């Protein structure tokens, strides 16, 4: 039996005096467990999401908190290891009494933590994991909510963009792991008469892509889509550019490589004409709410050109706060119920969590990188916010 | 430490462990479960490092095989725990027999590196053999027997398994076999000229070490409700080696101290700062420079100074 | 057929012929010495016989059993024990444990993970230690014993295996004169009492003539003479090697 | 699929340039092991620091040819200086202790270095571009080939020859080789062993750092870069034979070719190819291709 529930039934049984004690206990801040990669090669993702979490919590608390109580963040490093991320979650549940979680960031850790969430009946909002498996089949349960568009959604959206570009034949490349396989499967399922001219995968942790680049160059396709991310994406770009890959093929990349952080890191080395996607870009000007968010974020981070990850953490907190507000209690079962079908206003417009699938219809940006006058970092043009 | 003081320590530890679930903190109970499992894992490696004198950098492979096999037998084949766990341990031991037979032909650093290569091979297979292992997402969601789903019961189960394993390893370390193991560590050639088939004994030790590592892996997969490829990665093996070295290899209880301290430090530093690797690293450097015999050296020093007074 | 037969044994290290077509026999119950100047190949010959290295060609048999392809531990199990020129004990183990390990190995108890070792074979071990005059040092670590005592311990360890033949490589190396004298007496008494065949190398001629019943002379990897001590003493070749400074 | 010999030629070039990239990283590791007998887990961390140092130097000098040279050399020098302090103050206290303690120490060093890097440069990604004269491609007649990859193909052998020359033809090299063979003898010769050890550790660390700086134009500079490279460096040093420079060179070639050709022909099982290769080589030659066996029975 759940600890909080036990407390509650106790309270009811013991009457008013006990109720007062519980009320006292519930006056404190609402603890939010945040489990993200904070060390190693993916730390920038964790730090980005965490920035968004901090900003949203600051805003919520400044506006008087939720149910009159402030939110309190408890951060743990998942180290991209499921054993570590689950241990952190259990620690927060059993030691700190946390009942609401945001994170972890990756598919493997999210899948693992979701099992704990199911068992412990605590709310678990996954801000960034894209794997279908997280909320599909047996893995779907009442307490897990997936905000990022899944690979299936990405597949549909990618094909839409490809058709817009005029792609006729396509090559696939990327790390040989779950996300790549899932996304490619979704693209293949939707690509209709676009012809596949080969898939050239590299082992996980590979640092050299020259063999695949050579294969891609000689393959009979007009478009290449790929999945390397973070540092590996940067390495791929730097190795592929002198080979002329970006001159001879149209290239579209997944894995949120439209992130401004990537463009800033690569600077002039980011090839013009590369298609990419991102959960957010600071220079998007289509929505008032987005402008307001960016202003707040720029203020918070002390720089105008912000990255894409904060919005995922930001929206996760806003969903959680709205759900607790709607439920009128922090009881995780009721909060989870409130999240079903919940619609909130986000910087990128209305987002709803589907009550059946527990997935949010978060939009993403797709666009084509072009160098900017007066700035070192390229920006996506032809920017479209795909819902 | 003498045998008697080590036994006293183990007995005291056991009594404390008996009391843990009654302290009313579920956090403490679950934390102790993990500490027990890591201690068992470190103890198992010490059969190789401390007794026989072989440092394996691939010990995590057997931890992972034990864990994955348990997960698979419980969830896919729906076998009862009483069959699934022994089968998983047996499977890991068979792997150890095959891998060990090749590894014990090598010495010192080359032995270490060959074990590392094999464990990375195991890791690669885990990543790629998706239908069985779940691939890089891991084996998620283990059909745990009903009686183990409560934290309390899981604690008692773990305590029982770890205690029995520890007792067996203690008996082993004091047995005629254990004496021969240490003789091999001390002087391989001399042991050989006493009629000991050194490689065969090393192989036996390798399999025994793997067997207990698989027990630890089996417990861990059930505790985690899943098993993940990182558990076979070389960093995990390195982690076990470090727990053993931190505690001290020349005593039975050293690895228990090392594994417990390492894990508790990781968990607690983690709660206070995101710069936990830095703090861990500095602590390790201090231990290396000040307590070269590991924590057991500290205990020994304290023990002697207390006795002197 | 002789007890130990070495027939045409040859060992090459690269191009260097360390042992060249060595042939000789050791009779049961003999105290057979191998002598020769430094670098003659005495230790290499021992290593060949005890299986530490494999001969390039040739055969070695003990009671008719071929040893040449056998591993050291198998040769030990057939009944041969050896000591080393450099002290070779288990340094962190006590003298008691050193002998105990030898007994465990000879009784094949190394396969038993349950049989407690603590007090196992105490009487036997103490008897062996008394015999080599180490009764008082049984609880001291072998590595901390004086050099001579370590040699004595090695003897006890070798005897624990109850060998039929004992190979001692320079048993008095590094000992003082007094130690050497008592050590020789000890070795002679023990092998006689136990009826063990002894094959040993020694640089000290006094020791050799004190103990040996038969002597073979090794020079540049070849046996140049085998015979009774009094024969060897007057052998011209031996005189030349030892006295003529070659 | 590879009927086309030109593509095969390019793939061979790819293999070679990767091999040279890997060799530059592994050279320092094998040097440190050869003389100090220390398995340096921190080698990857030194490599990473080198890349970050080059990044900072290039931030000052700007992205010029001279800046790049300064970046590489400066990274080596700065890392070497830090390694000197670490060796003198900490590591030197462990030489006469058990091997395992040294291992534990280098592991601890990894943790510390990674966090310090994170404190200084943050957890984001950076990129160093190739110097202007090595940007773009040259036409090999059949296909464009990146100048920088070609540069690595030349730089690797040059570094190998330079180390070889130093080890075999100079007085210092002779001392180092003596140190590798016999520490006691070195002491007897009156050479300050301390100085030799410091020198080797510094040189190994500097090589790692320069390797990081040289690899940077083909990769990202980020906190994960050490983890990706350390295992490859270990494989090379082990299969080549610990302490053997020639072995590392050959080992790098084997791994380079295996990685490139493996990803083409083995495809999804390429991930285990390098480990299978390591297992096979160690089983056939337990001391590595060019290492020396500890003892022999035959």
Q: What domains lie within chain C, and their CATH numbers?
A: 1-78+203-246 (3.40.50.300)
Lowest mean pLDDT among A48-57, D45-54, D167-176: D167-176
Q: Are C113 and B175 in contact (CB under 8 A)?
A: yes
Sole residue written with tokens 């080969």: A198
pLDDT at D3 over 60: no
Give the C-alpha separation, A187 to A194, whole Å: 10
pLDDT at B305 over 80: no
Which alpha helices (DSSP H) does chain D contain, by range? 5-36, 43-61, 65-89, 99-121, 147-169, 171-181, 183-188, 193-215, 225-240, 245-261, 270-284
Q: Are D128 and D217 in contact (CB under 8 A)?
A: yes
User: What distance in Å separates residue D255's CA from the closest CA in chain A?
Assistant: 12
User: What distance in Å separates residue A371's CA from the closest CA in chain B?
Assistant: 36
pLDDT at C225 over 90: no
pLDDT value at residue B158: 97
The pLDDT tens digits of the residues spanning A188-204 come to: 999 999 999 999 999 88
User: What distance in Å separates residue D296's CA from the closest CA in chain C?
Assistant: 8
Give the C-alpha separation, D254 to D258, whole Å: 6
Tally Cβ neighbours within 10 Å of residue A214: 25
pLDDT at A6 over 60: no
Tally Cβ neighbours within 10 Å of residue C220: 16
Share of chain A above pLDDT 70, in %: 93
Using pLDDT thresholds of 50, 70 and 90, give the confidence band for residue D295: very low
User: Is residue B186 one of the residues assigned to a domain?
Assistant: yes
pLDDT value at residue B293: 76
pLDDT value at residue C1: 64
Interface of D with B (CB under 8 A): 39, 41, 90, 93-94, 97-98, 100-101, 103-105, 107-116, 118-119, 231, 234-235, 238, 242, 268-269, 271-272, 275-276, 278-279, 282-283, 286-288, 294
Q: Are B59 and B240 in contact (CB under 8 A)?
A: yes
Query: With the C-alpha atoms ordered A56, A60, A66, A69, is the resulting torsion angle positive or negative?
Result: positive
The pLDDT tens digits of the residues spanning D190-221 come to: 667 788 889 999 999 999 999 999 999 999 99
pLDDT at A312 over 60: yes
Same fold, A3-148+289-356 and A152-278+365-386: yes
Q: Which of A82, A119, A139 sits opposite B138 (nearest CB)?
A: A82
The pLDDT tens digits of the residues spanning B83-130 come to: 999 999 999 999 999 999 999 988 888 898 899 999 999 999 999 999
Using pLDDT thresholds of 50, 70 and 90, give the confidence band for residue C59: confident
Tally Cβ neighbours within 10 Å of residue D192: 12
User: What distance in Å separates residue B190's CA from the closest CA in chain A?
Assistant: 44
Interface test with A, best of B63, B123, B137, B223 (most A CBs within 10 A): B137
Name all chains with 3 or more CB-CB pairs below 8 Å to chain D: A, B, C
Q: Which residue has the higher pLDDT, D239 or D182?
A: D239
pLDDT value at residue B245: 87
A290 touches chain B (CB under 8 A): no
Which residue does chain B place closest to D282, by CA atoms? B114
pLDDT at B300 over 80: no
State mean pLDDT over A59-71: 94
User: Is residue B257 one of the residues assigned to a domain?
Assistant: no
Put simply, the answer to whether B117 touches D103 (Cβ < 8 Å) is no
The pLDDT tens digits of the residues spanning A118-155 come to: 999 999 999 999 999 999 988 999 999 999 999 999 99
Q: Which chain B residues have a beta carbon less than 8 Å from that of A204? A: 127, 136
Strand ordering across the sheet containing A169-175: A195-202, A169-175, A223-226, A250-253, A275-278, A364-370, A379-386
ipTM (interface predicted TM): 0.88
Which among B139, B132, B165, B160 is positioned nearest to B222, based on CA atoms? B139
pLDDT value at residue C243: 60
Give the C-alpha separation, D90 to D93, whole Å: 6
Element (H, E) at B200: helix B198-224
Residues 6+ apart with CB under 8 A from B25: A94, A95
Q: Which chain B residues have a beta carbon less than 8 Å from that of C77? A: 195
Q: Which of C52, C84, C101 sits opposite B183 (nearest CB)?
A: C101
Which alpha helices (DSSP H) does chain A contain, by range? 3-14, 16-25, 43-62, 82-96, 107-120, 151-165, 178-190, 210-218, 230-240, 245-248, 260-266, 288-301, 310-327, 332-339
pLDDT at C144 over 70: yes
The domain limits of chain A are 3-148+289-356, 152-278+365-386
pLDDT value at residue C246: 42
pLDDT at C237 over 90: no
pLDDT value at residue C244: 54
Q: What is the CATH number of domain A3-148+289-356?
A: 3.40.50.2300
Interface of C with B (CB under 8 A): 50, 52, 71-74, 76-77, 81-82, 84, 88-93, 97, 100-102, 104-106, 109-118, 120, 157, 160-161
Q: Which of A1-10, A358-367, C3-12 has the highest mean pLDDT?
A: A358-367
pLDDT value at residue A39: 83
Residue A204 DSSP code: T
pLDDT at C27 over 50: yes
Give the C-alpha separation, B42 to B262, whole Å: 11
Give the C-alpha separation, C58 to C56, whole Å: 7
Strands A364-370 and A275-278: antiparallel
SS3 C164: coil
Interface test with B, best of C105, C139, C144, C169 (most B CBs within 10 A): C105
pLDDT at A22 over 70: no
User: Is residue B182 one of the residues assigned to a domain?
Assistant: yes
Note down the domain range covering B132: 25-231
pLDDT value at residue D185: 66
C52 touches chain D (CB under 8 A): yes
Put simply, the answer to whether D224 touches A47 (Cβ < 8 Å) is no
> Could you tell me the two tokens for C92?
């962190």
Orientation of helix D99-121 relative to helix B276-290, angle to 10°: 150
pLDDT value at residue A36: 96
Chain centroid to Cα B119, Å, comes to 15
Q: Which residue has the higher pLDDT, C227 or D4?
A: C227
What is chain B's mean pLDDT, rounded? 91
The pLDDT tens digits of the residues spanning B257-296 come to: 999 999 998 888 877 887 888 988 998 898 888 887 777 7
Q: Which of A211-225, A366-380, B84-98 has the highest mean pLDDT?
A: B84-98
Using pLDDT thresholds of 50, 70 and 90, give the confidence band for residue C55: confident
Q: Are D248 and D30 in contact (CB under 8 A)?
A: yes
Q: Which residue has the higher pLDDT, D35 or B203?
A: B203
Residues 6+ apart with CB under 8 A from D25: D43, D47, D208, D211, D212, D215, D229, D232, D233
A126 touches chain D (CB under 8 A): no
Q: Are B260 and B211 in contact (CB under 8 A)?
A: no
Chain centroid to Cα A242, Å, comes to 32
Using pLDDT thresholds of 50, 70 and 90, give the confidence band for residue D188: low
Strand ordering across the sheet containing C222-227: C80-82, C165-169, C197-201, C31-35, C214-219, C222-227
Put simply, the answer to whether A115 touches B140 (Cβ < 8 Å) is yes
CATH architecture of A152-278+365-386: 3-Layer(aba) Sandwich (3.40)
Q: Are C44 and C220 in contact (CB under 8 A)?
A: no
Lowest mean pLDDT among A123-137, A336-350, C85-99: C85-99
What are the beta bridge partners of residue C80?
C165
Which residue does chain D place closest to C47, by CA atoms? D297
Sole residue written with tokens 């033809």: D169
CA atoms within 13 A on the CB side of A255: 27
pTM of the complete model? 0.91
Which among A200, A194, A173 is positioned nearest to A255, based on CA atoms? A173
DSSP E strand boundaries for chain C: 4-13, 16-26, 31-35, 57-62, 65-66, 80-82, 165-169, 197-201, 214-219, 222-227
Put simply, the answer to whether A231 touches D220 (Cβ < 8 Å) is yes
State mean pLDDT over C118-129: 89
Residue D190 DSSP code: T
Put simply, the answer to whether D298 touches C52 (Cβ < 8 Å) is no
Which residue does chain D place closest to B291, by CA atoms? D101
């Amino acid at each position: 039996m759940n600890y909080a529930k036990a407390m509650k039934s106790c309270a009811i049984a013991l009457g008013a005096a006990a109720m007062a004690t519980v009320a006292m206990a519930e006056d404190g801040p609402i603890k939010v467990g945040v489990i993200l990669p904070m060390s190693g090669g993916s730390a920038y993702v964790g730090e980005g999401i965490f920035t968004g979490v901090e900003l949203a919590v600051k805003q919520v608390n400044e506006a008087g908190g939720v149910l009159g109580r402030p939110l309190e963040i408890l951060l743990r490093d998942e180290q991209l290891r499921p054993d570590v991320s689950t241990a952190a979650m259990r620690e927060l549940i059993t030691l700190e009494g946390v009942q609401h979680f945001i994170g972890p960031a990756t598919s493997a850790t999210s899948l693992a933590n979701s099992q704990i969430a199911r068992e412990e009946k605590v709310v678990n909002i996954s801000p960034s994991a894209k794997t279908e498996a997280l909320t599909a089949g047996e893995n779907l349960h009442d307490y897990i909510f997936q905000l990022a568009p899944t690979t299936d959604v990405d597949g549909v959206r990618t094909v839409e963009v490809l058709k817009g570009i005029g792609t006729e034949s396509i090559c696939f490349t990327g790390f040989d792991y779950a996300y790549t396989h899932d996304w490619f499967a979704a693209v293949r399922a939707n690509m209709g008469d676009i012809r596949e001219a080969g898939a050239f995968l590299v082992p996980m942790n590979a640092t050299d892509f020259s063999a695949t680049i050579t294969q891609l160059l000689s393959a009979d396709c007009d478009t290449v889509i790929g999945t390397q991310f973070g540092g590996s994406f940067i390495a791929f770009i730097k190795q592929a550019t002198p080979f002329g890959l970006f001159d001879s093929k149209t290239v579209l990349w997944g894995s949120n490589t439209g992130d401004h952080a990537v463009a800033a890191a690569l600077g002039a080395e980011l090839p013009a004409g590369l298609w990419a996607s991102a959960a957010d870009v600071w220079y998007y000007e289509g929505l008032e709410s987005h402008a307001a968010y960016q202003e707040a974020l720029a203020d918070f981070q002390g720089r105008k050109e912000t990255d894409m990850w904060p919005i995922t953490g930001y929206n996760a907190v806003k969903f959680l706060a709205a759900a607790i507000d709607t439920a009128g209690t922090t009881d995780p079962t009721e909060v989870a119920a409130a999240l079903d079908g919940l619609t909130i206003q986000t910087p990128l417009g209305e987002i709803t969590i589907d009550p059946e699938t527990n997935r949010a219809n978060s939009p993403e940006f797709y666009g084509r990188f072009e160098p900017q006058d007066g700035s070192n970092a390229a920006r996506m043009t032809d920017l479209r916010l795909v819902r | 430490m003498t045998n008697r003081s080590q036994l006293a320590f183990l007995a005291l530890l056991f009594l404390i462990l008996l009391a843990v679930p009654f302290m009313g903190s579920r956090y403490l109970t679950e934390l102790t479960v993990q500490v027990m499992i890591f201690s068992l894992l470190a103890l198992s490696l010490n059969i190789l490092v401390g007794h026989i004198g072989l440092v394996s950098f691939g010990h995590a492979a057997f931890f992972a095989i034990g864990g994955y096999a348990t997960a698979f037998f419980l969830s896919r084949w729906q076998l009862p725990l009483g069959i699934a766990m022994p089968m998983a341990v047996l499977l890991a031991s068979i792997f150890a027999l095959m891998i060990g037979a090749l590894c014990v032909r090598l010495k010192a650093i080359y032995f270490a590196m060959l074990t590392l290569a094999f464990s990375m091979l195991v890791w690669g297979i885990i990543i790629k053999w998706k239908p069985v292992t779940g691939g890089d997402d891991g084996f998620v969601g283990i059909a745990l027997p009903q009686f183990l789903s409560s934290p309390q019961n899981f604690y008692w189960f773990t305590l029982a398994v770890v205690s029995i394993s520890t007792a067996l390893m203690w008996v082993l370390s004091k047995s005629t076999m254990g004496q021969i193991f240490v003789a091999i560590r001390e002087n391989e050639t001399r042991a050989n000229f006493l009629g000991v088939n050194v490689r065969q004994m090393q192989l036996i030790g390798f399999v025994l070490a793997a067997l207990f590592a698989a027990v630890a892996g089996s417990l861990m997969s059930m505790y985690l409700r899943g098993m993940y490829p990182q558990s076979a990665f070389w960093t995990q093996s390195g982690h076990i080696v470090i727990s053993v070295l931190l505690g001290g290899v020349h005593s039975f209880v050293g690895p228990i101290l090392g594994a417990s301290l390492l894990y508790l430090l990781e968990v607690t530093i983690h709660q206070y700062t995101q710069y936990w690797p830095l703090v861990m690293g500095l602590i390790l450097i201090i231990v290396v420079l000040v307590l070269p015999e590991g924590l057991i050296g500290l205990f020994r020093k304290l023990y002697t100074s207390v006795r002197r007074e | 057929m002789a007890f130990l037969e070495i027939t045409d044994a040859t060992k090459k290290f690269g191009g260097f012929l360390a042992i060249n077509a060595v042939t000789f026999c050791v009779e049961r119950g003999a105290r057979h010495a191998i002598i020769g100047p430094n670098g003659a190949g005495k230790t290499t010959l021992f290593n060949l016989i005890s299986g530490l290295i494999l001969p390039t060609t040739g055969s070695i048999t003990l009671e008719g059993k071929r040893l040449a392809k056998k591993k050291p531990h198998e040769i030990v199990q057939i009944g041969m024990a050896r000591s080393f020129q450099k002290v070779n004990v288990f340094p962190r183990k006590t003298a008691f444990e050193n002998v105990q390990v030898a007994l465990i190995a000879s009784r094949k108890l190394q396969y038993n993970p349950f049989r407690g070792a603590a007090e196992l074979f105490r009487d036997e071990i103490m008897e062996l230690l008394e015999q080599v005059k180490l009764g008082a040092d049984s609880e001291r670590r072998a590595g901390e014993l004086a050099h001579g005592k370590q040699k004595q311990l090695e003897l006890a360890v070798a005897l624990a295996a109850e060998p039929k033949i004992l190979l001692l490589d320079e048993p008095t190396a590094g000992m003082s004169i007094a130690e050497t004298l008592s050590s020789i007496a000890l070795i002679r008494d023990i092998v006689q009492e136990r009826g063990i065949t002894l094959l040993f190398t020694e640089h000290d001629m006094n020791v050799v003539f004190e103990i040996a019943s038969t002597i073979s002379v090794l020079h540049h990897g070849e046996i140049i003479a085998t015979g009774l001590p009094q024969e060897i003493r007057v052998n011209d070749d031996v005189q030349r090697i030892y006295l003529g400074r070659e | 699929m590879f009927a086309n010999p030109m593509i095969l030629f390019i793939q061979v070039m790819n293999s070679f340039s990767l091999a040279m990239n890997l060799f530059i990283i592994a050279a320092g590791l094998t040097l440190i092991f050869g003389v100090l007998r220390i398995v340096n887990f921190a080698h990857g961390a030194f490599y990473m620091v080198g890349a970050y140092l080059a990044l900072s130097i290039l931030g000052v000098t700007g992205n010029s040819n001279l800046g790049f040279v300064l970046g590489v050399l400066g990274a080596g020098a700065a890392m070497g200086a830090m390694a000197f302090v670490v060796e003198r103050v900490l590591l030197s206290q462990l030489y006469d202790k058990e091997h395992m303690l040294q291992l534990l120490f280098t592991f601890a060093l990894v943790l510390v270095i990674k966090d310090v890097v994170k404190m200084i440069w943050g957890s984001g990604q950076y990129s160093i571009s190739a110097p202007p004269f090595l940007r773009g491609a040259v036409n090999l007649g059949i296909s464009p080939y990146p100048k920088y990859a070609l540069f690595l193909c030349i730089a690797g052998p040059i570094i190998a020859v330079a180390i070889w020359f130093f080890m075999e033809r100079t007085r210092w090299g002779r001392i180092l080789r003596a140190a590798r063979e016999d520490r006691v003898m070195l002491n007897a010769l009156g050479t300050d062993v301390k100085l030799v050890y410091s020198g080797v550790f510094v040189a190994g660390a500097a090589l790692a750092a320069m390797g990081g700086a040289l690899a940077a134009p083909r990769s990202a500079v980020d906190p994960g870069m050490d983890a990706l490279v350390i295992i490859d460096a270990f494989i090379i040093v082990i299969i080549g034979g610990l302490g053997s420079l020639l072995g590392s060179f050959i080992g790098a070639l084997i791994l380079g070719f295996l990685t490139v050709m493996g990803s083409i022909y083995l495809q999804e099982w390429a991930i285990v190819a390098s480990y299978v290769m390591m297992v096979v080589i160690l089983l056939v030659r337990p001391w590595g291709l060019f290492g020396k066996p500890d003892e022999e029975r035959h």
